[in-house]
Amino acid sequence: MAVLILFFFVVARVDDQPFIYSMNFKSTFIMLAAAPLALAEYRPDAFAPIGVMGEHLHAKDQFMASYRYMNMRMEQNFVGTGSVSDGSVLADFMVAPADMDMEMHMVGFMYAPTDKFTLMAMVNIVELSMNHRRRDGLEFKTKSSGIGDSSINALLGLWEDNGGSLHAGLGILLPTAEVDEQDFIPGPGETRLPYPMQLGSGSWGIAPSLTFKQHHGNWSFGAQTSAKIFLDDNDEGYRLGNKFEFTTWAAAPINEQFSVSIRSTFSGWGNINGEDNDLLSLPVPTADPNLRGGSKLDLSLGLNFFESGTKTSAGLEIGKTIWQDLDGPQLGSDYWITAGIRFSW
């Protein structure tokens, strides 16, 4: 919280005067405050925090390419809202997950055939690693990496007025990820990895969303609700639980190029439908399809950068899970970092 207060209230100085009162920034800021939404794209907070996907439309015939990197850390097993020790997990299972790291590289592309309609495509590359502890004290790590699930999305503008906008999105989830990843496990040897170590869903699905944004003279806010709904069982005989997410944020420019933000995100997801028969013999909770559901609440701080001359934008966001309720034992989310850059032309 101290960092947030520092972000929002530290004022850069030019010639011993607060920067917001320097002539260049003040005139630009007044212009943007009085401008319609079309000019809001020249503000650093015109984009939502970098962790929000599909949150803006483009002008007709405009393109955008983007790259995002996300790192998520998971540790400490939870049953419901309470954490449990590895020893407690090992009382019921031969193996307990100790911690997990997920890295994701996301490459996106957007094109707007009209002012109210934008197309978006995204491809992911995923790297996963999980540390385990056996009942006899032996510790080991498993890894998997490769192409994750991809998506194609359409965004449609519904309303725009006085600095505010509302648009809907509908995506098609493409099962481009492998769900039969294997690694060496002490004892059984080369073995099919449990559900959270697979690279994606392996199922077709849809991803609806609804996004609202409002820009004021010296701050902005927005909200987005979205879902991932999986439509069929994958080749291994199961379907991931559907996921729902609601996020809301507030942001403020600190000069012509930088803005800061705070965001909250509530998400919930179901248990797995069906099961992978190759996992039935693994004595670890990550192989139980009934121990994969849950919900959580995250808080995050963000920093956006925008250069109007080159139409280049970048962002950094750091998030922390402050509450979670998991069907466990299941590894809980700890923190995550997302960084990215976008080029428009």
Q: How many domains does the chain have?
A: 1
Per-residue pLDDT, 29: 36
pLDDT at residue 32 greater than cutoff 50: no
Per-residue pLDDT, 4: 37
Residues paired with 18 in a beta bridge: 13
DSSP symbol at 305: E
180-218 pLDDT, tens digit per residue, is: 999 999 988 999 999 999 999 999 999 999 999 999 889
* pLDDT category of residue 23 using cuts at 50, 70 and 90: very low
In the chain, the percentage of residues whose pLDDT exceeds 70 is 88
Give Cβ neighbours of residue 91 (< 8 Å, ≥ 6 apart). none
**pTM score of the predicted model:** 0.86
95-113 pLDDT, tens digit per residue, is: 999 999 999 999 999 999 9
Q: How far apart are CA 40 and CA 31, in angstroms?
A: 10
Lowest mean pLDDT across 23-32, 62-71, 317-326: 23-32
Q: How many alpha carbons lie under 13 Å from residue 289 in its C-beta half-sphere?
A: 16
Q: Whose CA is closest to 331, among 286, 276, 288, 289? A: 286
pLDDT at residue 55 greater than cutoff 90: yes
Lowest mean pLDDT across 1-15, 151-165, 198-212, 304-318: 1-15
Per-residue pLDDT, 17: 33
Quick check: bond before 186 cis, omega within 30? no
Lowest mean pLDDT across 83-87, 187-191, 301-305, 321-325: 187-191
110-144 pLDDT, tens digit per residue, is: 999 999 999 999 999 999 999 999 999 999 999 99
Mean pLDDT over residues 69-95, rounded? 97
Other beta carbons within 10 Å of 310: 10
Per-residue pLDDT, 224: 98
pLDDT at residue 258 greater than cutoff 80: yes
Per-residue pLDDT, 11: 31
Q: Check which CATH number belongs to the domain holding 273 and give it.
A: 2.40.160.40
> Which range of residues forms the domain containing residue 49?
2-344
Are 159 and 166 in contact by the 8 Å Cβ rule? The answer is: yes
Compute the mean pLDDT over every residue in the chain, rounded to the nearest whole number.
89
Indicate the pairing of strand 13-14 with strand 117-134.
unpaired
Per-residue pLDDT, 41: 57
Mean pLDDT over residues 39-66, rounded? 89
Question: Which parts of the chain fold into alpha helices (H)?
Answer: 2-9, 23-34, 37-40, 86-90
Per-residue pLDDT, 109: 98
pLDDT at residue 342 greater than cutoff 80: yes
Residue with tokens 């648009």, as numbered in its chain: 167
pLDDT at residue 321 greater than cutoff 70: yes
Are 263 and 302 in contact by the 8 Å Cβ rule? The answer is: yes
pLDDT at residue 159 greater than cutoff 80: yes
Are 222 and 246 in contact by the 8 Å Cβ rule? The answer is: no
pLDDT at residue 305 greater than cutoff 90: yes
